[in-house]
A and B are shown apart, each in its own frame.
Chain A
Amino acid sequence: MYVAVKGGEQAITAAHKRLAEKRRGSLDEKPLTIKQIRQQLPYAVDRVMIEGSLYDPQLAALAIKQAAGDLIEAIFLLRAFRTTLERFCDSQPLDTGKMHVERRISAAFKDVPGGQVLGPTFDYTHRLLDFSLLDEEKQTGCDNESDQKEAVKTEPESLELGIEHDLHDFPHVLKSMTAEGLIENQVSEQQQANFDITQQPMQFPVDRSTRLQALARGDEGFLLALGYSTQRGYGRTHPFAGEIRIGQVDLVIEPEELGFQIEIGEITLSECEMINQFKGTKEIKPMFTRGYGLAFGHSERKAMSMALIDRALRGKEFNEDFDSPAQDEEFVLSHADSVESVGFVSHLKLPHYVDFQSELELIRKIRKEQNEKAEAKVESAA
């Protein structure tokens, strides 16, 4: 009985074994390959990379496999790996203006230089279950073949829309507005190194770059809900999707000992620039302000949510009324990280015998005393 209450080593070993079985499923099925996950679950891989704060599709896919599709668990796995890595160099600032664009839209302007490029998107799909995917394997015999066929098929359509093949070096939509002074100019004047939330503890209040870092690794669901709340009046910011672009950006480093720049590869990014209203003051003419979101991979929803919240958190800069959760830096940033929140919620499963015993003892004592008092009252009344 005693042993049963206190659990122990054997129980843990048995639980791990059960989990391994659960993850693998029926042995009649072939195990899922990492390649399949990377190729056929790309959005899951992207989410794990951005919230895991590590751009590594291979390891993100591994984490998804190991976590049996539990993405929050996969994010945790990747984060716990990332934290052990040596940081040998800061990259040069990414130039998203030179992005090789796969998708690029503006909801603020009907047409923009370079055109609107839909690219791969769930937008405008009808959310009808495609029952033909139920037995896709049987239909084609080989997955790879059919995918390639589809890819070839879509290409002429994009040509019809008059889109050039080399979709890079598109200037940002908001650049022209900046020139006119209609929107705040946001060229960073910051010369010192950025605060790095993975190397230094966040201490409130924090600057915008710190906020953006924390939002970038924040839980998508949490950010989405908060962003949504600003649209429903809890810290309104009057947003327009000025530009959303997704594509590949070159990653450049300049090692101190070499003194020249080296391109070490490219990463896929989703960037969102919101245009928000600002009334202006006596000194400052009314102009538009910005909210910014950036995420690894195809993570448009995440980038948009982030941009909404970034702008909401800038309320103080513009002397805006302060009364909503999304405007509250401490509230938002302290609760955005899924690794932190999942950890603390799940710790309730750990034993709390001692604390509970302490409360039990106290409640019994108070109840006993109240009973005694009540009895004494009855007696004295009689």
Chain B
Amino acid sequence: MNEYNFAYLDEHTKRVIRRSLLKAVSIPGYQVPFPGREMPMPYGWGTGGIQVTASVIGKDDCLKVIDQGADDTTNAVSIRNFFKRVCGIRTTEKTDETSIIQTRHRIPETALKAGQILVYQVPIPEPLRFIEPRETETRTMHALQEYGVMHLKLYEDIAQFGHISTAYAYPVIVNGRYIMDPSPIPKFDNPKMHRMPALQLFGAGREKRIYAVPPYTDVVSLDFEDHPFDIQQWDESCALCGSEVSFLDEIITDNDGIRLHLCSDSEYCATRVGASQ
């Protein structure tokens, strides 16, 4: 593969993206516009995350890619193969051995360490988008910290359903300043973002926005005193590794609707199964 530069993007573009990343890290939770490029995968399939990864990855890095928590889902396989091809770098499934993890919709169950980078793929970076579709409006709302509408939306949920009806992409406040969309991770994963030792980078390719949470930064999920934030719980445990604390996928195994629960984080599950044998 000599036709393309290391990590696909040309060096000038990488530099531009790294500058945006530096700004994003300096203003935690703030959405930095960046000149996103077309990538050889479709928008919505992780182009933002891929551009961020391509801009920070070096020859000595080791990359892990997950989708829905798993290393072997088709899109994770495809992105991992892409970086293998354009970088020739090492890849792994081991969460604790990797330097960069690109993820869609999950944070690994294994706690991340200082020095690691978690790159999120983001479809809609603007947490206020579904309340106010206009960029010109939401930009002002962020500038003035005009976040009442977001609390109002959560309140209306409680009034209507008795619960906040946001189960994923649950809004957070970063460093006490910006409301941020954590990408469509289940709210189960939100607490893992709080004071995480690893650097968290978010890339939205189609919307051309980058944002970041530096290591050890406060990330608080929005809630009310009488309706505190809570996370998903299951009565079942993982059918393979027996974990009672991980996020479980529900799998229908036959036509009678018999269900099985399995860890969504395939590496966490496999490691536990391996250790018990």
Contacts and interface: CB of A to CB of B under 8 A. Distances in A.
Given A201-B33, A201-B35, A330-B136, A343 B45 contact: yes
Interface string A324-366: 0000001000100001101111110011111101111110011
Nearest to B164: A362
Given A8-B74, A330-B136, A343 B47 contact: yes
Contacts of B8: 84
Contacts of A122: none
Nearest to B248: A357
B189 to A, nearest CB: 9
A46 to B, nearest CB: 20
A359 B67 contact: no
A358 B186 contact: yes
Interface string B175-189: 000000000111110
Interface stretch (A57-65, A75-83, A142-150, A277-285): A75-83
B238 to A, nearest CB: 12
A354 B185 CA distance: 8
A132 B105 CA distance: 56
A188 interface: no
Interface in A212-259: none
A369 interface: yes
Given A86-B10, A354-B106, A359-B167, A12 B77 contact: yes
A353 B105 CA distance: 9
A7 B38 contact: no
B192 to A, nearest CB: 14
A205 interface: yes
A365 B10 contact: no
Contacts of A83: 37-39
Contact of B40 (A80, A198, A203, A204): A80
Contacts of A361: 167, 232, 234
Question: Secondary structure of the B side of the interface?
Answer: loop
A362 B163 CA distance: 9
A201 B123 contact: no
A141 B40 CA distance: 41
Contacts of B218: none
A344 B77 contact: no
B249 A354 contact: yes
30 contacts: A1-B251, A2-B251, A6-B73, A7-B72, A7-B74, A8-B74, A8-B77, A9-B72, A9-B81, A84-B10, A86-B10, A198-B35, A199-B35, A200-B35, A201-B33, A201-B36, A203-B33, A330-B133, A339-B43, A342-B43, A345-B44, A346-B42, A351-B67, A351-B74, A351-B75, A354-B69, A361-B234, A366-B161, A366-B163, A369-B162
Interface of A: 1-2, 5-9, 11-12, 76, 79-80, 82-84, 86, 198-205, 330, 334, 339-340, 342-347, 350-355, 357-362, 365-366, 369
7 closest cross-chain pairs (CB), A and B: A343-B43, A347-B44, A358-B167, A343-B42, A201-B33, A344-B44, A201-B208
Given A7-B72, A84-B5, A339-B42, 4 more contacts: A12-B77, A12-B78, A354-B247, A359-B168
